[in-house]
Amino acid sequence: MVVAITLHFAGYHQEIGYQPQKYAHGNQIRQALTEEKLVPPPPLAPEAFVDAVAEKPQLALDKADRDWNKMDPAFVQDVLRVMERMKARGFPMVLLEGYRSAERQNRLAGGSTKVTQAKGGESKHQYGLAADLAPVRNGKVVISERDTWAMQAYTALGEEAQAQGLGWGGVWSFRDYGHIERAGSLRALLAQREKK
């Protein structure tokens, strides 16, 4: 009897059939509570975007919104983690555009050179759940897909975004290499947001 009691209190005895319950999102919740909140980098000077604006005038990057505060805070943390990983791989990135108004979305979708297929209200940009990023080399934003280094950066971006559980526009039929977004359908994401 003394041996049984000793083994029980020493932790060597466990009732058969009892297993601690594991919660599917337990690690994510624990990580979110303990993880340091990342801070967006300071904005680049307008001169850093001059070549990118000239390279693709249809993007109207001089009118793009780069205000991190207009984006979903949890998504911002995901994007910043991706940007940290990209920098570690030798590809510093910059936010080209985060939030996008429905009016701007319609202009980009309706121009002679289509930039996007999504109309206003159909893009995750309107809900702060999408971001367009580009690599920065020697203080200049590089967006050309003809640039070998930039394409290496975009490929790495796709890998890092997908590893973070995000969607990447580089796998779409309408390729958008710098685009990353919260994974899932827009309808489901908005329904989930309303439940909170």
Q: Where are the domains of the chain?
A: 44-195
Tally of CB atoms within 10 A around 24: 7
This prediction's pTM: 0.80
Contact between 61 and 49 under an 8 Å Cβ cutoff? The reply is yes
Q: What is the pLDDT of residues 97-135, one digit of tens each?
A: 999 999 999 999 987 777 888 999 999 999 999 999 999
Which amino acid is located at 85 in the chain? R
Q: What is the pLDDT of residues 9-63, one digit of tens each?
A: 665 555 555 445 555 555 556 556 666 899 999 999 999 999 999 999 999 999 9
Q: Which two tokens stand for residue 106?
A: 């319609």
Q: Which two tokens stand for residue 105?
A: 């979305």
Contact between 170 and 176 under an 8 Å Cβ cutoff? The reply is yes
* CA dist., res. 125 & res. 97, Å (int): 9
Q: Selecting from 3.30.230.10, 3.30.1380.10, 3.40.50.2300, 3.10.20.30, what CATH number does the domain 44-195 have?
A: 3.30.1380.10
CA distances from 77 to 27, 42, 69 (A): 16, 15, 12
CA distances from 11 to 7, 16, 53, 60, 97 (A): 6, 13, 66, 66, 56
Q: What is the pLDDT of residues 130-151, one digit of tens each?
A: 999 999 999 999 999 899 999 9
